[in-house]
Chains A and B, each alone.
Chain A
Amino acid sequence: MLAGDLIKHALSRLDPLATLDLDSAPISASDFDQGGTDPGNIVEFLAFDIAFDVEPATGLFLAAETEDD
Chain B
Amino acid sequence: MTKAVERRDVLRSGVAGAGMWLAGLRVGDLVKAVPPVAAKPFETGAKSRPDADDDLAYLTIADAAELIRKRRLSPVELVDACLSRIDRHDETIQAWITVFPEKARAEAKAAADEIARRGPRSSLHGIPIGHKDLYDMKGVRTTAGSKVRADAPRAKRDSAVVAALRAAGAIALGKTNTHEFAYGVRTPPTSNPWDTSRIPGGSSGGTAAALAAGMCLGGSGSDTGGSIRIPSSLCNTVGIKPTFGRVSKAGLVPLAWSLDHAGPLARSVEDCALMLNVMAIPDWGDPTKASVPAPDFTAGLRRSVRGLVVGVPKSVFFDGVDPATERLVRKAIPVLESAGVKVKPLEMPSTQQAAATAYLVIQLTEPLAAHEHYLRQRPHDYQSQTQALFALGTPWTGQHYMRAQRIRAINIHQWMKIFDDVDAVLTPTTPRPAPAKEEGEATGVFDLVNYTSLFDFNGCPSISVPAGLTKEGLPVGLMLSAGPFKESLLLRLAYAYQEETRFNRRRPQLD
Show the binding face of A for B, using Cβ within 8 Å: 1-8, 10-12, 14, 17-22, 25-27, 29, 32, 36, 38-39, 42-43, 46-47, 50-54, 56-57, 60-61, 64
Provide the residues of chain A in CB contact with B19, threshold 8 Å: none
User: B363 within 8 Å of A by Cβ?
Assistant: yes
Interface residues of B in 455-508 (CB under 8 A from A): none
Q: How far is the CB of A8 from chain B (nearest CB, A)?
A: 5
| Selected A-B contacts with CB under 8 Å, 17 pairs | A3-B225, A3-B450, A4-B450, A6-B360, A7-B444, A8-B443, A19-B384, A20-B391, A22-B379, A25-B394, A32-B397, A36-B395, A46-B357, A52-B403, A56-B351, A57-B354, A64-B413
Task: Knowing A17-B385, A54-B354, say if A2 contacts B410 (CB, 8 Å).
Answer: no
Provide the residues of chain B in CB contact with A43, threshold 8 Å: 395
Interface residues of B in 150-181 (CB under 8 A from A): none
Question: Are A29 and B398 in contact, with the CB atoms below 8 A?
Answer: yes
Question: Are B453 and A22 in contact, with the CB atoms below 8 A?
Answer: no
Residue in A11, A26, A36 whose beta carbon sits within 8 Å of that of B443 in the complex = A11
The residue among A10, A29, A36, A51 with the most chain B CB atoms within 10 A of its own CB is A51
User: B388 within 8 Å of A by Cβ?
Assistant: yes
Task: Knowing A5-B450, A17-B385, A20-B390, say if A47 contacts B350 (CB, 8 Å).
Answer: no
Q: How far is the CB of A31 from chain B (nearest CB, A)?
A: 9
Task: Knowing A11-B388, A20-B379, A38-B395, say if A3 contacts B360 (CB, 8 Å).
Answer: yes
Provide the residues of chain A in CB contact with B384, threshold 8 Å: 17, 19
Question: Are A64 and B356 in contact, with the CB atoms below 8 A?
Answer: no
Q: How far is the CB of B352 from chain A (nearest CB, A)?
A: 9
Residue in B319, B350, B390 whose beta carbon sits within 8 Å of that of A2 in the complex = B319
- What 8 pairs across the A-B complex have the smallest Cβ distances? A18-B391, A2-B450, A25-B394, A54-B354, A4-B446, A7-B446, A4-B449, A43-B395
Question: Are B356 and A1 in contact, with the CB atoms below 8 A?
Answer: yes
Provide the residues of chain A in CB contact with B363, threshold 8 Å: 3
Interface residues of B in 330-370 (CB under 8 A from A): 350-351, 353-354, 356-357, 359-361, 363-364
Task: Knowing A5-B447, A8-B447, A54-B407, say if A39 contacts B391 (CB, 8 Å).
Answer: yes
Question: Are B410 and A61 in contact, with the CB atoms below 8 A?
Answer: yes
Show the binding face of B for A, using Cβ within 8 Å: 225, 316, 319-320, 350-351, 353-354, 356-357, 359-361, 363-364, 375-376, 379-380, 382, 384-385, 387-392, 394-400, 403, 406-407, 410, 413, 443-451, 453-454
Question: Are A42 and B392 in contact, with the CB atoms below 8 A?
Answer: yes
The residue among A12, A53, A56, A60 with the most chain B CB atoms within 10 A of its own CB is A60
Q: Which residue of B lies closest to A18 (CB)?
A: B391
Question: Are A38 and B394 in contact, with the CB atoms below 8 A?
Answer: yes
The A contact surface, by secondary structure, is: helix
Q: How many Å lie between the Cα of A61 and that of B392 in the bound state?
A: 27
Question: Are B361 and A57 in contact, with the CB atoms below 8 A?
Answer: no
Q: How far is the CB of B241 from chain A (nearest CB, A)?
A: 15
Q: How many Å lie between the Cα of A36 and that of B397 in the bound state?
A: 12
Q: How many Å lie between the Cα of A17 and that of B442 in the bound state?
A: 10
Q: How far is the CB of B98 from chain A (nearest CB, A)?
A: 28
Q: How many Å lie between the Cα of A37 and that of B385 in the bound state?
A: 19
Q: A46-B357, A56-B351 are in contact. List 16 more A-B contacts (CB 8 A).
A: A2-B356, A2-B450, A4-B448, A6-B357, A7-B364, A7-B449, A8-B444, A10-B392, A11-B385, A12-B443, A19-B384, A21-B379, A25-B394, A38-B394, A57-B410, A64-B410
Q: How far is the CB of A2 from chain B (nearest CB, A)?
A: 4
Q: How many Å lie between the Cα of A8 and that of B225 in the bound state?
A: 14
Provide the residues of chain A in CB contact with B388, threshold 8 Å: 11, 14, 17-18, 20
Q: How many Å lie between the Cα of A47 and that of B375 in the bound state?
A: 24
Provide the residues of chain A in CB contact with B354, threshold 8 Å: 52-54, 56-57
Residue in B351, B357, B395, B407 whose beta carbon sits within 8 Å of that of A42 in the complex = B395
